Amino acid sequence: MTLRLQMLGTGGAFAKKYYNNNGLLYTDDFTLLIDCGITAPTSLHQLGVSLPEIDAILITHIHADHVGGLEEFAFRMKYEFGRKPVLYISEKLIGPLWENTLKGGMSQETITSLEDVFEVRALKEGMLNQISPSLQIEMIQTPHIPGKPSYSLYLNNEIFYSADMTFQPDLLKELVYERHCRKIFHEVQLVGPGEVHTTLDELLSLPVDIRSMIWLMHYNDNMEDFIKKAGEMKFLRQHEMYTL
Ligand SMILES: Nc1ccn([C@@H]2O[C@@H]3COP(=O)(O)O[C@H]3[C@H]2O)c(=O)n1
Ligand SMILES: [Zn+2]
Ligand SMILES: [Zn+2]
């Protein structure tokens, strides 16, 4: 079963030319939205994708470029379409997503918890979660902000999709050399110290066979200046459809 990926955006948190780094992952019979940031509703509108066409949303971590569009998504599904979207989320993030992010805007007499606006499906890390008949996802907790859980995704035991994360060369080597990973979608910070992200220079330090399978995403507006500096790595483009 082939997967297809269409990014709603490929930009970093503060990019303006590129939308938030959120993606539509398609199987033949299922559409999963990976992260739903501030710009996700606009990008979906531009692509002509209506909200009910999305079978489920999966959240990697709680930053506005990954969850800032959830309020609009949930309100519109409730009031325009009379439906509750399916939300896959780490069990550790259910409380914080409601208490720290959505409660302020969404709470009212009839809405007092995340479950009132989403059909919540808790994901456990380190094990295979069956999302649809042909899509399995393992959540791998990867370091981003200290004390703030963030989860990268291993799709169908062969494709790595990074959440926002600091450089983890040992994980990437283990996935490629021991777990048959054949494609990597990786966030990148093009200049400056990474701190909470992975820099282009760090990714350039990986062995060439790993670099050749990397597609870069979550980049800043000056991405075009780095196309020739990324070696074998390629830049993922928003709104283009990729067969994985
Ligand atoms: N310790 C931190 C925390 C946050 N940030 C910036 O805020 C952004 C939040 O979304 P992001 O995509 O994770 O990128 C983060 C950093 O740009 C940062 O640079 N350092
Ligand atoms: Zn981000
Ligand atoms: Zn983040």
CA distance 223 to 219: 6
Minimal CA–CA distance to 142: which of 120, 170, 180?
A: 170
Question: Would you say the CB of residue 86 lies under 6 angstroms from ligand 1?
Answer: no
- 216, pLDDT greater than 80: yes
Query: pTM for the complete prediction?
Result: 0.98
pLDDT (mean) for 82-100: 97
DSSP state of 226: G
Give the pLDDT confidence score for residue 92 in this predicted structure: 95
Question: Would you say the CB of residue 164 lies under 6 angstroms from ligand 1?
Answer: yes
Is 169 strand, coil or helix? helix
Hey, whose CA ends up nearest to atom 10 of ligand 1?
A: 13
CA distance 28 to 3: 8
Q: Give the percent of the chain with pLDDT over 90.
A: 98
Cβ pair 165, 144 in contact under 8 A: yes
CA distance 159 to 182: 6
ipTM over 0.90: yes
pLDDT (mean) for 37-42: 98
* Residue-wise pLDDT tens digits, 188-198: 999 988 899 99
Hey, whose CA ends up nearest to atom 2 of ligand 1?
A: 196
CA distance 142 to 152: 6
Query: What would the CATH number be for the domain defined by 4-243?
Result: 3.60.15.10
The 3 state secondary structure assigned to 39-104 is: CHHHHHHHHCCCHHHCCEEECCCCCHHHHCCHHHHHHHHHHCCCCCCEEEEEHHHHHHHHHHHHHH
Give the confidence band of 78 by pLDDT, cuts at 50, 70, 90.
very high
In the chain, at which residue ranges do the beta strands (DSSP E only) sit?
4-7, 23-27, 30-34, 56-58, 86-90, 119-123, 128-132, 135-141, 151-155, 159-161, 183-187, 214-217, 234-235, 241-243
Give the pLDDT confidence score for residue 243 in this predicted structure: 98
DSSP state of 207: -
- 167, pLDDT greater than 80: yes
Domain boundaries, the chain: 4-243
Distance 196 CA to ligand 1 centre (A): 7
Question: Would you say the CB of residue 35 lies under 6 angstroms from ligand 1?
Answer: no
Question: Would you say the CB of residue 13 lies under 6 angstroms from ligand 1?
Answer: yes
Distance 35 CA to ligand 2 centre (A): 10
Hey, whose CA ends up nearest to atom 18 of ligand 1?
A: 196
Cβ atoms within 10 Å, residue 239: 14
- 1, pLDDT greater than 80: no
CA distance 57 to 23: 10
Give the pLDDT confidence score for residue 126 in this predicted structure: 87
